[in-house]
Structure 1
Amino acid sequence: MPQAQTYSSKSILASLMVPLFIVLAMWIVFLIEFETGANFAHYGLKPRTLSGLLGIFTIPFLHGSWSHLINNSIPMLVLGWAIFKFYPTLAIKTLIWIYLMGGIWLWISGRSSYHIGASGIVYGLAAFLFLSGWLRREKRVAALSLLVAFIYGGMWWGILPVDPTISWEGHFWGGLAGVVLAFVYRKKGPQKSVYKWELEEEEDELEYLEASDDIQKVQVNGLETQPTLQGNPVKLTYSFKPTPPAEESKN
């Protein structure tokens, strides 16, 4: 019997720990830049360069402005909470693979400039949650991902090369990593959530089906039978009447 899913403030807080740590690191790095006047952009990911390999690991913690930082922080918290809440056994490895796959693909194919920001991971989480939610029939997760995508500036337009100042390649490869992982992990981790009211309906249905098996036996021409019927128990009653003798036709 599936177990009902329960929610508590403790579980919600636990699901926020890792995304909160990531966002905190993003803010600390940016505040150091802001207070010291330093520019850490050269530590970002520069495709096809040896020094740019470091950027695969540093890229999500570097941001160019307050708006850039805030626009990545909020969806990182929301989507990060969602993946740790709904897919706790897959969350860490999914996050790491999005981080590495998106960064490596960007390093191989991106434009020759410094790429910074956590939006590649954000796109990866959104794509994973959306597709994984539909594949597992967990529509609440898919709807949450879509809501975040539409609220934060129509994120999906960010995978198109419409603004030369935006790393659309980072968005694209992060999103693709999320899609790939949703398919790879589609049969792993939790499937469709089952809630208490669903279990009660299932138990009522089982009791109904068990009751419908109590079909009373009836006699038909002296032979005992037990009809197989679906629904409430039904008692069949037969009556017999002798056939009268044939009569003459009247004109």
Structure 2
Amino acid sequence: MTGTPVVRTAEGEWSRGDRAKAAAKLMLGWVALLWLLEVADVVSGHALDGFGIVPRTPSELVDVVPASFIHFGFAHLAANSVPLLILGFLAALGGIRRFVAVCALVIVADGLGVWLISPSGTNTAGASGLVFGLFGFLLLTGFVERRPLGVVVGLLVAAVWGGSMLAGLAPTQSGVSWQGHLVGLVAGVAAAFVLGRREGGAALRTRRATQGPQEGGWYRP
């Protein structure tokens, strides 16, 4: 007895509703954690502000990751919460494991970039580097993977947040780390190519393996 071979993955068995629920829970939990940390920061007399990144100080390398979870006041956190929630949700719809990989790449690259190129005597923290990274990832991943829906999402993201993202890259805003924004954006674009091609290629190989030859030959990449 023969049948069509099926390639399965743990995430591939999820329905769209399952993915949406998982993405929503993840991002709501993430943003809630940031607010809890800011409450703890205020209660402790801003003791957590020390987890920001002071550039080119070797001991500050341990703060490369924690800095993305710390904010300098509730206004700072509020400005990052909505874009992080929405952009994170959209990115996580493509798969939780890949989303975690994208976030890890952006957070580490952004933290190291801030450590290397930020002005001396500054202390940088906040999730905005990750927000810019998710923006860059969503902007290009649909084109990289050749998915029409992903392209539409990228265009919508550009239409809604493109202006504010460009403004955040301007080096004229006092107290704003345009360096962190720029490095985060570049890291997100890199993640779209590094992780997007892998996912797109796997999907193509799965289609070719499960659907077999068409008239005129095998499916072409």
For residues 66-215 of structure 1, what are the structure 2 equivalents within 5 Å?
Answer: 66-112=74-120, 113-148=122-157, 151=160, 154-190=164-200
The structure where helix makes up a greater share of residues is 2
Secondary structure at the aligned position of 2:196 is classed as coil
SS in 1 for 2:199: coil
Q: Does 1:11 align with 2:37?
A: no
Describe the superposition over 1:133-190 as per-residue Cα deviations: whole angstroms up to 9, x where unpaired.
1222334434445545554561222122120210101100011111112122232115
1:92-139 Cα deviation digits (max 9, x unpaired): 211111111111122111122000110001110110111111222334
Q: Which runs of 5+ in 1 are unaligned?
A: 194-205, 210-251
Find the partner of 1:64 among 67, 72, 85: 72
Shift in alpha-carbon separation, 1:147–1:55, aligned structure 2, 3 A? farther
What is the DSSP-based 3-state SS (H/G/I as helix, E as strand, rest coil) of the residue aligned with 1:86? coil
Unaligned runs of 5+ in 2: 7-11, 204-213, 216-221
For these two proteins, the number of residue pairs brought into alignment is 196
Q: Specify the code of the residue in structure 2 equivalent to 1:69.
A: L
Take 1:87 and 1:129, find their aligned partners in 2: how far apart are those partners?
A: 13
1:125 partner amino acid: L
Choose 1 or 2 for highest CA Rg: 1
Q: 2:70·2:127 contact (CA, 8 Å) conserved in 1?
A: yes
| RMSD between superposed Cα atoms in Å | 3.1
Identity %: 29
Task: Decide which moves more: 108-117 or 88-97.
Answer: 88-97
Aligned partner (choices 40, 46, 52) of residue 38 of structure 1: 46
Taking structure 2 as the reference length, the TM-score comes to: 0.75
AA of the residue aligned to 1:109: I
Pick 1 or 2: higher relative contact order, CA cutoff 8 A, min separation 6: 2
- Say if 2:19 and 2:95, in contact at 8 Å, map to a contact too: no
- Against the structure 1 CA distance between its residues 70 and 145, is the aligned structure 2 distance closer, same or farther, given a 3 Å change threshold? farther
The answer as to 2:23 corresponding to 1:23 is: no
- Whether contact under 8 Å (2:136, 2:186) holds in the other structure is yes
TM-score of the pair, normalised by structure 1: 0.67
SS in 2 for 1:154: helix
